[in-house]
Structure 1
């Protein structure tokens, strides 16, 4: 799993962004939800950065949100001036990120994806994000997550 192309793409993207301290860890089992990831890592569920891809008027939007709450799609749509914001299909997610649902990383996509980063994540000294497959994760600070993802901090819940 450590040599999976998605994991390598995430590692390469982190290295290219100068975030070499954010080392991808491969867990024994897949963690498809924030509670499962938090349990496997022994951290609070709020420290898990859920990577959710939305279809925003036909364009991908990545929302990195705290595992402690849900994205308010009406609020995000209004914030961005998007007429129609909905959860993306698995095919749409893979097309725009190259990664499966449950393993979508904030980086390592074939081309940049517009990204919002939940300000609620700022309350944690360390955040855990997906590493390209459901078994891979990496630790990162909020400031680094915003920087490497080229994300915009926002209230998303």
Structure 2
């Protein structure tokens, strides 16, 4: 009998609590990049919602962006009203989300993290995001992801 990783179980519980309707899929291998996730799922890389944690003025900020995009950190920093947006350290990622890089889900963090959603993802009828572990993803829609996270919509490029 295999036991599910505790971070996936926590994700499932939070997803259900928030009324999420998508399926959680456990892939045979970790998918640390959008390209690997898209290949494993048989979808376009643009339908992968990367959960990227940044540090803004010493605090965590989560940007959910299409796997087809790179975040223009100067543009996003100006749009959200912070001086600088920099990549978060592995320690900050774990502290802010309770998860590891490559498996950060959009929900289920120990404390609320300001979250921003790339409008580009709305072009895809099904969006896939991490489910708390590098080998776990879940299906959702743009509108549901927006509702689940309470994110602010923005253009990241």
Asked whether the two chains share a fold, i.e. TM above 0.5, the reply is yes
Question: Does the aligned pair in 1 maintain the 2:69–2:156 contact within 8 Å?
Answer: no
Question: Does the aligned pair in 2 maintain the 1:2–1:8 contact within 8 Å?
Answer: no
Report SS of the residue matched to 2:83: coil
What does residue 61 of structure 1 align with? 61
Mapping of 1:3-152 within 5 angstroms? 3-19=4-20, 21-152=21-152
C-alpha RMSD of matched pairs (Å): 1.0
Ranges in structure 1 where 5+ consecutive residues have no aligned partner: none
Report SS of the residue matched to 1:144: helix
**Matched length:** 156
Question: CA separation of 1:124/1:104 partners in 2, compared to 1, >3 Å: closer, same or farther?
Answer: same
Question: Does the aligned pair in 2 maintain the 1:116–1:153 contact within 8 Å?
Answer: yes
* TM-score of the superposed pair, with normalisation by structure 2: 0.97
Question: Does the aligned pair in 2 maintain the 1:6–1:108 contact within 8 Å?
Answer: no
Deviation at 1:23, TM superposition (A): 2.1
* TM-score of the superposed pair, with normalisation by structure 1: 0.97
Question: Does the aligned pair in 1 maintain the 2:48–2:128 contact within 8 Å?
Answer: yes
